[in-house]
Amino acid sequence: MAAVATVLSATLLVLFGWTFPATAAVEQEQAATGTDDATQAIVVGSIAFVIMIAAAGAVMWFTAKARAAEIR
């Protein structure tokens, strides 16, 4: 169970770790220039896509792990 928690933590860190500095930079830039709805839509859509792919990968990983345990 600890291994699953470690993998989940590492996955979340990789997926969301790069967004925090980018978010801070965007907030500072928005104060100077205003919001751009198209850019925001692309960023949100891209993040949602990455999360869906990660969820699908997690499902496949757990399925493969369970089937490997059944074979043994």
Query: Domain span at residue 41?
Result: 2-71
Amino acid 12 reads L
pLDDT of amino acid 11: 74
Q: What is the band of 6 on the pLDDT scale with cuts at 50, 70, 90?
A: confident
Measured between alpha carbons, how far is 17 from 68 in angstroms, rounded to an integer? Answer: 32
How far is Cα 11 from Cα 2, in angstroms, rounded to an integer? 14
Give tens-digit pLDDT for 12-63.
666 776 666 666 665 666 555 656 888 889 999 999 999 999 999 999 999 9
Strand ranges for the chain from DSSP E: none
Total domains in the chain come to: 1
Q: What pLDDT score does 45 carry?
A: 96
What pLDDT shows up at residue 36? Answer: 80
The pLDDT of residue 8 is 72
Whole-angstrom distance, CA of residue 9 vs CA of residue 16: 10
